[in-house]
Structure 1
């Protein structure tokens, strides 16, 4: 059966401009980090991807290492593009990244021109695309001149392989430098993708969010649910089938310490008073500031996606609610600022 997108797909979604660029993104974007790899079959993947697009999610976020195994998310999304999404390619924003380990040897990760551009070519091949809409430097490389990494991003734009470029998990000082270097090369820095949630506020603490606002760079938050912790499921002792069930996964022990779970517990009544699920409260909070372009979600099931989309019904906060959230979370805040080795993704 041939997929036909819902004619009303743009009616309920809110679209926000990325900084001072011409690019608009949906307030909620769908990431394919851990749930669309080799362990996902086509029908279950398209059930989620097709529904997302039918609800106005036009932005699909990938990276070279997304899976597992690395590369498999791009391969699966490439199949969806070829089989069902092909007529709608110009309505979609497809992003990918380079920065984490992809192949052995000295050229298989970080920020060299050799790695970044080779990775982009591999990503395009896996997805069957001539270009991506956004291409990111996935993490700051302290051992490569930033001019080289940004030069590779600029080359991607000048060669027509990317329309916009971004950075991910760059601290404030490096964000400002990246913006200045790209500007000198005639390529604007369009977007920054940091981790950000009620429990993880490093972009506020080191003023990265303020720098992006000043420079006209959009922000899309990843892990706005703090690896699912803010859904409340770990307060209920749920581990089977979650990230906590994988000792080698991305969920750290620091995410589920008693003080963190206590903070999550205190958020429950706030969500209830707003008529929201915990997930919806967390996403709305991440989107509350004017600098935020989009919140990046990751889902395993269609029901999770529907819960996430319910956020759009109530994005406004009173000063009293924001104060209550700050009070509830102050004892459970995580220190997840990027280190030289970068955020593990």
Structure 2
């Protein structure tokens, strides 16, 4: 299946990545406030998820310092090690956590990030969110220094507004660099970046969008619509999201039904159709990082990269999703 996956350039960088990466938040080992969002996964399961992802053509993995305070990074390193030569060409993206810190922490914590990743190269280092004690400019100067030192390959941001993204790219240009990506929430049911300037600015600057929560925490899989009792089994705070409530599921059912129809036509699943829309609706601009807590989730992810919806289907899904979203 791997030869069917067409790699694309990540924004202004020279990284050639699969349209889907694997989001690794769920590898947090239940550690810390952020890590408790997911149940603990055993090492064998993590290893199998990473192996299936690599075999299916996914060649990059997105983790972060705040995912279990380094636990996700360590789990990813161990799983890549288990995968052997299969992981030789794998790329790693991680993130610095800025809250209650200054830009000096970027350089001060980079060796810890590298250590948690077993000495592996950080191909993309991202500022996890825009709130810190330092300016965007200070953070970008610190990131550029790490590129110059050879400790990271490229610079990205996450949850940055259009204005802050533009400022980050401007400062990086002073160092002969460019902003590679902005990681934001984006999916068929959450289209805010289309209206707040983020997507338009990304296209203008040549910055990639990395979409997290690409399935709206699993709602776009359709399984909760077909079996609402599954909502009660959800662990952690996501079960209280409005989309999981009875009226939320009812509102989005027309979109799910269309995803199911297209899934039947493509011998795919609603999950794969939703992911395929994300990675094709805006040319090569949008990448996505679905997670996986079970091996079969990883298998679903990779299958989403082996076909392409038509232009008419992409447009139709976008319009239908916009309609159900307006009914809130």
1:264 and 2:220 are equivalent in the alignment: no
Aligned position for 1:65: 66
The structure where helix makes up a greater share of residues is 2
2:155–2:179 CA contact under 8 A, matched in 1: yes
Q: 1:163 aligns with which of 134, 137, 153?
A: 153
Q: Distance in 1 between matches of 2:233 and 2:26?
A: 12
Alignment partners' CA distance in 2, 1:112 and 1:188: 22
Does residue 69 of structure 2 align to residue 79 of structure 1? no
Contact 2:20 2:288 in 1 (8 A): yes
Cα RMSD (Å): 2.4
Q: Which runs of 5+ in 1 are unaligned?
A: 1-8, 101-108, 336-345
Change (3 A) 1:59 1:110: farther
- Of 203-212 and 31-40, the range deviating more from structure 2: 31-40
Moved over 6 A (4+): none
Change (3 A) 1:250 1:271: closer
Distance 2:290 2:14 in 1: 23
The alignment status of 1:178 with 2:176, answered yes or no, reads no
TM-score normalized by the length of structure 1 = 0.82
2: distance between equivalents of 1:277 and 1:88? 27
TM norm structure 2? 0.86
- Equivalent in 271, 296, 301 of residue 294 of structure 2: 301
| Cα pair distance change 1:13/1:251, threshold 3 Å | farther
Aligned length: 312
User: Is the CA contact 2:27–2:71 (under 8 Å) kept in the aligned structure 1?
Assistant: no
Q: Kindly tell me: are residues 300 and 332 of structure 1, through their superposed partners in 2, closer, same or farther at Cα, counting changes over 3 Å?
A: same
Q: Deviations over 1:76-113 (max 9, x none)?
A: 1222344444x45551111100126xxxxxxxx35522
Match of 2:17 in 1: 25
Once the two structures are superposed, the pairs formed by residues 1-16 of structure 1 within 5 Å of their partners are 10-16=2-8
1:120 and 2:110 equivalent? yes
- Would you say the 8 A contact 1:134–1:163 is kept in 2? yes
Counterpart in the other structure of 2:304: 311
d(CA) in 1 for partners of 2:224 and 2:300?
A: 17
